[in-house]
Homo-oligomer: A and B are copies of this chain.
Amino acid sequence: MQLRSFLLSGQGWPYLLVPLIPLAIVLDLIGASAIAIFFVSAGGVIPTAALMGRATEELAHRSGPGIGGLLNVTFGNAPEIIIALFALNAGLHEVVKASLIGSILGNILLVLGASMFVGGLGRDRQLFDRTAASAQSAMLLLAAVALVMPAIFELIAGNGLPLPGDEIRDYPSDVEHLSLAVALVLMATYCAGLLFSLKTHRDLFNPDHAAGSEPGTNDEGGEPWTIKKSIVMLAIAGVAVGVMSEILVGSISEAAEGVGLSEFFIGVIVVAIVGNAAEHWVAVLVARKDKMDLAVNISIGSSAQIALFAAPLLVLCSFFIGPHPMALVFNGFEVGAVILAVMIANHVTNEGESTWFEGLQLLAVYVVLGLTFLFAGT
């Protein structure tokens, strides 16, 4: 009875997809069609990512605000990073980069848009703290510079940008070294940002810590987990995400061909949504409860984390994993979309207030980008 009400709650629905996990494994073992494997394993990622998020939160709750905050932000995008590491290993550099950009776009446009739309329905306007939001969207401006300059570098050097149809592209070592140097700057800034948000300006991001950090747990009335249980669950979730990711990544190329979509579209839209699904749902839920500070924090903060932590981490890892280092050179769609999305994020956070129509506009931008990406692959 309690299980049933949990499964039908806002926090619990991802676990309805648990049966997809063994199904994906079986389909993979019996060599089913790549399309079936892809979509079932994509569905299977969602509950494992949700469990990972839950376990991280419980552990963070037990660890006090300092370490807890660190855990929360470090593991916040762990599922996306795990999927990307498997894709890196399989040499699918363009899928990795597409999923990074897709996560940034998805957070700014789809998640924040849906939050503002759903939260704004029936309300005149919703308010959030401009200072915290602006500090995070400023990180996106830095990210935009870091993600765009190597592309300009290659345009001028004459090698051009990768095409949406590419799977992997070996750039000269100078731009690989530039990418590495830029990645180190981004990670150093990210670490300074942790110092900022967890230490010197903690109050800015946690005006109301108890309510803010566990949007679901208290509301659903669940009991807090012990540290031991949290760590075991985190480990189980990590392994499960890994298994699902390997199956997912192994089927991408064939599945893309099968359904007639490009790997670029799969990476930038499908993989990006799957990796963030559980977490995104939380943003919409809290927005509906008029906690827009938290919704903006999740969406803009998550996109900043992808850009300043996940992307440089994957560049570093690419020097050890996969066929050759991955340069931070994005294709033209990705460069254009990320600049425009960052402009939009800055506009939206500058105001400190939102309406349903503003949310709808963000969703419309996401649809326009999605349509362009869809036509790009055909």
A-B contact pairs, 13 of them (CB 8 A): A125-B131, A131-B351, A135-B355, A141-B343, A144-B340, A145-B344, A153-B375, A175-B375, A178-B372, A185-B371, A196-B356, A196-B357, A200-B356
Contact yes or no, A149 B192, CB < 8 A: no
For the complex, give the distance between the alpha carbons of A142 and B144 in Å. 18
At the interface with chain B, which of A20-28, A275-283, A358-366? A358-366
With A138-B347, A142-B361, A201-B355: A156-B163 Cβ-Cβ less than 8 Å? yes
- A369/B333 in contact, CB under 8 A: no
Counting CB contacts under 8 A, is A146 at the interface? yes
**A124 proximity list for chain B (CB < 8 A):** 201
A141-183 interface with B by 8 A CB criterion: 141-142, 144-146, 148-150, 152-153, 155-156, 163-164, 174-175, 177-178, 181-182
Q: Give the chain B neighbours of A144 by CB distance below 8 A.
A: 340, 343
Q: How many residues of A contact B (CB 8 A)?
A: 69
- Count identical subunits in the complex: 3
For the complex, would chain A's binding face be called helix, strand, loop or mixed by DSSP majority?
helix
By a beta-carbon cutoff of 8 Å, the part of chain A in contact with chain B is 124-125, 130-131, 134-135, 137-139, 141-142, 144-146, 148-150, 152-153, 155-156, 163-164, 174-175, 177-178, 181-182, 185-186, 188-189, 192-193, 195-196, 200-201, 331-333, 336-337, 340, 343-344, 346-348, 350-351, 353, 355-358, 360-361, 364-365, 367-369, 371-372, 375-376, 378
